Chains A and B, each alone.
Chain A
Amino acid sequence: MALAFDEYGRPFIIIKEQGQKARLRGLDAQKANISAGKAVARILRTSLGPKGMDKMLQSPDGDVVITNDGATILEQMDVDNQIAKLMVELSRSQDYEIGDGTTGVVVLAGALLEQAEKLLERGIHPIRISEGYEMASKLSVEHLESISQKFEFSVTNIEPLVQTCMTTLSSKIVNRCKRALAEIAVKAVLAVADLERKDVNLELIKVEGKVGGKLEDTELIYGILVDKDMSHPQMPKRIEDANIAILTCPFEPPKPKTKHKIDIDTVEKFQTLRQQEQNYFDDMVQKCKDVGATLVICQWGFDDEANHLLMHRNLPAVRWVGGVELELIAIATGGRIVPRFQELTTEKLGKAGLVREKSFGTTKDRMLYIEHCANSRAVTIFIRGGNKMMIEETKRSLHDALCVARNLIRNNSIVYGGGSAEISCSIAVEAAADRYPGVEQYAIRSFAEALDSIPMALAENSGLPPIDTLTAVKSQQIKEGNPYCGIDCNDVGTNNMREQNVFETLIGKQQQILLATQVVKMILKIDDVITPAEY
């Protein structure tokens, strides 16, 4: 009863317990939560691994998305259940932090919840379970550290990096040309990486897509791509050694901020005003010309007169360029964004070796390439593909690959994939469990079992008998003392992941285990679910 009495003995109601208010308490609440979490994990389970299937999602507006990226599926899924929303956030945070392994983390959390349910049925207190899980996750993170290997690469030897990106891409629809895409991703990351500080600013890599052509036509541009064309159809389509003026002010008479009125009451005033106006345009163009600009990129538009003046003075211009692109152009060309014509100086101009306009297909689509920039730190990946869905999916896959390459530059420790790391952790946790007295021992053992579910799902999706494969690999790992044995998803013939060159980043794996454990702990702690009445 949610009823309490104050010091005078008058009852007051804490929670209105009425028919329309749903409330779940105790074990029921936990079980309901667990089953919701499991349901989400079940959806993603079939998308795991190189042979994972895709999901087709139809958005409220009728657009279709086809993907097997865990984070995207959950984001688009229109989830209503609170616990399911937690799982969505879980995969999102893995996406933000690491960028890859978004499916794995949810599947692992689902497996942990499933094990917890069994323990709860035995009457073990949820807090004890979560403590056990916490210990086990610490154990496995340490174990991962011990089986991890340093990963050698340099700017000249990018092969190992390419291999890693290929592992990531192999589970996506783009695996037809994973080699080419992996190379693009690695080159892009290396182009913007600061190897001294071991930091990569992914903001500098812009991923653009355009429908049409083939996936093989995807290219890496050492420069910037702007989805705009020259403002006047007769301006030159190709400018070499361009000096770029980057403007955020329109080619228009200035608009003073203070409110004012100009009253025209005589013919003279009318004429002077007209004169004034013409001078404005002339001045503006002249200023650009004076500082030596050969290309004007403007955030705003300019009217026909200004347009013609620019064309006339042989000063090509691009209008309506978005703020983000403008910043990127400024970074790449080493120019400064100039907010007023008066402040335009030669030093503030950006430099680019080549600016060209390129048209595509039969439709009137043109794009502007700005290449060989002064500061070559900004790159663009330009994706072509059969249809919009394909391009969106390629974007997501490339994002994952870029993140993996970045993580390796930040921290070059790796563990082997194909479920081998999970199996090895599971063995280690299982062995360690016996050393812990108390109820936690059970929880730790369950954790080990939950870890097995990832290789199990991998085997299932690859069409292998799951239990046979898992047990065989596990016994092989123990017998040979070799933590690199995993599931041979692609039917290569060996299950040594080291020979197959299948690996993942150490931090990615660790993060997966930590995040999954955290969320499961949170879900286990809930013992009361109060849903407000629907309005």
Chain B
Amino acid sequence: MTVERLLKDEATEEKGDRARMASFVGAMAIADLVKTTLGPKGMDKILQSTGRGHNVTVTNDGATILKSLHIDNPAAKVLIDISKVQDDEVGDGTTSVVVLAGELLREAEKLVNKKIHPMTIIAGYRLAAECARNALLQKAKDNKRDPDKFKSDLMKIAMTTLSSKILSQDKEQFAKLAVDAVLRLKGSTNLESIHILKKAGGSLKDSFLDEGFILDKKIGIGQPKHIENAKILVANTAMDTDKVKIYGARVRVDSMAKVAEIEGAEKEKMREKVQKIIAHGVNCFVNRQLIYNFPEELFADAGILAIEHADFEGIERLALVTGGEIASTFDNPESVKLGHCKLIEEIMIGEDKLIHFSGVEMGQACTIVLRGASSHVLDEAERSLHDALCVLSQTVNDSRVLLGGGWPEMVMAKEVDDLARKTPGKKSHAIEAFSHALQAIPTIIADNAGVDSAELISQLRAEHHNDTTNAGIDIISGGVGDMEKLGISESFKVKQGVLLSATEAAEMILRVDEIITCAPRKRENRM
């Protein structure tokens, strides 16, 4: 007698080999999808959203592509998840992590077909990952002590990161932009204080880093457009008529005259507030909320520059750069810290008027103005720059550096291969497979660049037999080159993140021997 129904209707259950197949296929499909974007000659993808307007995004950022996919396969979701985490933690390597996990699973599938138990494969992968990490640790260089060298390391990393993105044409300029911006942060990883402003028009080459701060706002009418030695009050307060906050209060009058009286009182109150603000001795007032016509007029009369409706981040950044505090009450002017800057002026970028604060006290924040032909280009440029900034800020904290161009993968593969030879038992197959998976990454980079990958990888492997080699793939010439001389570097932290997350994800998927899918929650039909 069989059980007719153990699970709810529509819930499905897949067991053993079938379950494993389903997750392998799903994971590999995802990896293959983003594979072609890997490396300096990787291609982009067009993503069209299903929402209104069918917005189009052109990108080769792994995390962005994967985020936009609607996936039904649970194993594929695991991969998307790791790419997201990689994005949050280190910002770059989002494609590599998925591709490596996919390759690890591809190798694992072969082993499973050879009747090796998944647990044995996992044990082997773990040993291999540990060994690979140690290999990286040994080879990593740390130039923190030497500021010049460190800066050139950062430049190299930024250029390597940017070379695979849309900015690759002007990578030197952007690398310099990114390095300058990150060095201003002085070790903090808070990228919030780097403001990226996108303005369509011009070309990417016209982008620049501004030492001061640019606020995308207009100056009120009739107010000075140019202030030297500005004292700035940064505020977050309602500049319309204040509401009475006491619960249950309401205005109830019986004649028109009284309405006018109360309106007058309200106006008086506003005037008082403005007076208080003016009493701080400021000549620039920036508010997060709206400033109504009446107070604006008052400010204009007093010759104060009033800027309304700056967004919250703008306010925080402005407070940071000018060294002022964000004020909401104005009763004791002596204790409120005001911000200072040498010059406030209105500038034009393209056709837009912006407010430019220069000569600020604290140099921590800065603005990068991106120019480009279309909004798609700008969006992609912002993403690329963001990746570069993330990697750089992480590198400032953990200054270990590796060479790029497939060099770290080959180094790891060699060490892992050595380990496989030394390890007895079935595990050694898995360790060997790990090394294959590692070598797949340079292979893909080479394939994407249209060079003969089989030839190139075998040459590389031969080179790497020598312990001190700097050989990697030179995409430009299509051969093996010295990475040190070509100046291609990568951050240790990114590589380590890729290695560990990919192994973890592969392990997780390998351990599964049963997939139970619940019935999808019914959407209520709102017709």
Contacts and interface: CB of A to CB of B under 8 A. Distances in A.
Contacts of A309: 328-329
B511 A84 contact: no
A234 B339 CA distance: 13
- The prevalent SS among residues of A at the interface is mixed
Contacts of B462: none
A265 B88 contact: no
A173 B511 contact: yes
Contacts of B316: 233
Interface in A345-379: 359, 361-364
Given A66-B512, A173-B508, A362-B88, A253 B246 contact: yes
B478 to A, nearest CB: 34
Given A233-B326, A262-B250, A304-B328, A387 B516 contact: no
Interface stretch (B278-286, B438-446, B499-507): B499-507
B500 A214 contact: yes
B80 to A, nearest CB: 9
Contacts of A56: 19, 23, 74-75, 512, 514-516
Contact of A55 (B126, B190, B246, B514): B514
A80 interface: yes
A252 interface: yes
Interface in B1-56: 1-3, 5-9, 11, 19, 23
B74 A256 contact: no
Contacts of A43: 514, 516
Interface string B232-259: 0000110000101111111111100010
B501 to A, nearest CB: 5
Interface string B494-527: 0000001100110110011111111111000000
Nearest to B80: A387
A362 B6 contact: no
A9 interface: no
Contacts of B393: 362
A389 B247 contact: no
Contact of A387 (B82, B117, B190, B329): B82
Contacts of B190: 359, 364
A213 interface: yes
B3 A234 contact: no
A59 interface: yes
Contacts of A315: none
Interface stretch (A199-207, A266-274, A317-325, A427-435): A266-274
B264 A267 contact: yes
A446 interface: no
A463 B427 CA distance: 14
B221 interface: no
A81 interface: yes
A410 to B, nearest CB: 32
Given A274-B269, A312-B336, A362-B390, A54 B518 contact: no
Contacts of B269: 271, 274
Nearest to B272: A274
A265 B508 contact: no
Q: Taking each of A80, A253, A308, which has the highest tally of chain B beta carbons within 10 Å of its own beta carbon?
A: A308
A462 to B, nearest CB: 8
Given A78-B519, A276-B246, A387-B505, A264 B3 contact: no
B486 interface: no
A256 B246 CA distance: 10
B189 A362 contact: yes
B236 A36 contact: no
A307 B328 contact: yes
Q: Taking each of A64, A252, A255, which has the highest tally of chain B beta carbons within 10 Å of its own beta carbon?
A: A64
B327 interface: yes
A58 B265 CA distance: 62
Contacts of B6: 36, 39-40, 79-81, 84
A307 B262 CA distance: 29
Interface residues of B, number: 85
Contacts of B84: 387
A212 B251 contact: no
A211 B85 contact: yes
Nearest to A258: B248
B261 A266 contact: yes
Nearest to A387: B81
Interface in B98-131: 117-120, 126
Contacts of B81: 387-389
Interface in A246-290: 252-256, 259-267, 270-271, 273-274, 276-277, 281
Contacts of B77: 62, 64
A78 B85 contact: no
A109 interface: no
Contacts of A46: 513-514
Contacts, number: 231
A469 to B, nearest CB: 16
A363 B88 contact: yes
A114 to B, nearest CB: 14
B379 interface: no
B394 interface: yes
A151 to B, nearest CB: 30
A119 interface: no
Interface in B327-354: 327-329, 332, 335-336
A474 interface: no
Contact of B250 (A79, A264, A266): A264
Contact of A81 (B3, B336, B511, B519): B3
B328 A32 contact: no
Nearest to B91: A362
Q: Taking each of A267, A281, A309, A364, which has the highest tally of chain B beta carbons within 10 Å of its own beta carbon?
A: A267
A53 B118 contact: yes
A214 B505 CA distance: 13
Given A78-B8, A364-B192, A265 B254 contact: yes
B325 interface: yes
A308 B236 contact: yes
A277 B326 contact: no
Contacts of A307: 328
A309 B84 CA distance: 39
Given A54-B511, A270-B262, A386 B500 contact: yes
Interface string A33-72: 0011001100100100001011111111110101010000
Q: Taking each of A80, A212, A386, which has the highest tally of chain B beta carbons within 10 Å of its own beta carbon?
A: A386
B290 interface: no
B181 interface: no
Contact of B501 (A60, A253, A386): A386
A303 B249 CA distance: 18
Nearest to A58: B517
A64 B78 CA distance: 8
Contacts of B508: 54, 66, 173, 389-390
Contacts of B326: 232-234, 308, 311
B3 A36 contact: yes
A56 B117 CA distance: 18
A28 interface: yes
A531 to B, nearest CB: 10
Contacts of B507: 173
Nearest to B501: A386
Contacts of A17: none
B90 interface: yes
A264 B504 contact: no
Contact of A255 (B87, B236, B247, B253): B247
Closest 3 CB pairs of A and B: A308-B328, A53-B513, A60-B521
Interface of A: 28, 31-32, 35-36, 39-40, 43, 46, 51, 53-62, 64, 66, 68, 73, 76-81, 84, 173, 176, 211-215, 232-234, 252-256, 259-267, 270-271, 273-274, 276-277, 281, 303-305, 307-309, 311-312, 359, 361-364, 386-390, 463
11 contacts: A57-B515, A78-B11, A78-B518, A84-B6, A173-B507, A176-B126, A232-B326, A264-B250, A265-B252, A305-B329, A362-B90
Given A36-B3, A54-B513, A463-B120, 5 more contacts: A35-B1, A57-B516, A234-B326, A305-B237, A387-B81
